[in-house]
Amino acid sequence: MAVVITTSPGFGKHGRVPDLIADRGWEFIRCTDTTKADGGVSAEIARADALVVGLVPVTAETLAAGENLKLVVKHGVGVDNIDIAACTAAGVPVCNTPAANADAVAELAVGLMFSMARFVPQGHISVTSGGWNRQIGTQLGGKTLGIVGLGNIGKRLAKLALGLGMKVVATDKFPDQAFAEEHGISFLALEELLAASDYVSLHVFGGADNASLIDEKTLSLMKPDARLINLARGDVVDLNAVAKALENDRLGGVAIDAYRSEPPDISHPVFRHPRAIFTPHSGADTREALENVGLMVIESLDAVFAGNTPPYCINAKELGLR
């Protein structure tokens, strides 16, 4: 019987996924104890055949202890918390679930744009506290959305924004020129995008390459009334710089879904600013997306346990699987 452990609180709970796991007869273990830094992985990893990863890091030490591991698969897209080089050295395939939650994240980005444009959180607080503070907002139509990272999520967001009558510009390390030409999207350097945009939405991976991509210098390039959305990773944005920009009226608003540490330290001044909106890393949290992600994880698990090359394998070439 295969032993599957997971550090993802959402894996195995949505749609058809629980029944599919039960049908396969795996020993399924949740390592989601929030009182432990690793969720409890260290107590179970030695006998695990597969590790389904949430936000807990997968390190070389994890791989060394997991001597029976046949697969590491991310319950999601971003793999910046997985030491892929260590997995490759250990001969362990690493998979993720590309595009499975793209619609969910893109739709939340649109929702956050509307929330900032029309002061939705502030209006809610005003009414429920007995007030009647009607604020004059702005419409999204005719505004420019800058998408930093035009991958699966960024492309879905672009289509939604274009449908609202917005102009879309983008920056990407590997620009898809065909998609951009088809939809009338201009690729700009990051600095140009920040200067041109009324809304900036971040959809890049975390890690050293994008650490503090949005900092005091890059924020200074944005329009004073522009709004920033971070649905990527917490380390992409310097919160100190964001708080300072908001306080000095050099940023119109910010919406944040991802944090350097989770839950975040809410003593930081940015959490007290009235033009800041926060969500609990819930960009992918729809029933549909969670089922899609779970089904793709099971697809990879099935393949590996059958002795086949798993789909969506990130290090397949390095392992000589393709």
Residue 290 near residue 284 (C-beta atoms within 8 A): yes
DSSP state of 41: G
Which residue in the list 156, 203, 250, 281 is annotated as catalytic?
A: 281
Active-site entry in 262, 272, 287, 288: 262
Gap between the Cα atoms of 289 and 75, Å rounded: 11
In whole angstroms, give the CA distance from residue 39 to residue 249. Answer: 40
Rounded (10°) CA dihedral 302, 310, 95, 314: 180
d(CA 31, CA 47): 13
Q: Is residue 240 classed as helix, strand or coil in its secondary structure?
A: helix
**Catalytic residue at 262?**
yes
Of the candidates 75, 156, 227, 233, the residue annotated as catalytic is: 233
Whether 203 sits among the annotated catalytic residues: the reply is no
Per-residue burial over 243-273, b if 16 or more Cβ lie within 10 Å, else e, is bbbbeeebbbbbbbbbbeeeebeeeeebeeb
Distance set, CA 103 to CA 26, 41, 108, 154, 315 (Å): 30, 31, 9, 10, 26
233 is catalytic: yes
- DSSP for 247-294 reads HTT--SEEEE---SSSS--TTSGGGG-TTEEE--S-TT-SHHHHHHHH
Residues with active-site annotation: 233, 262, 281
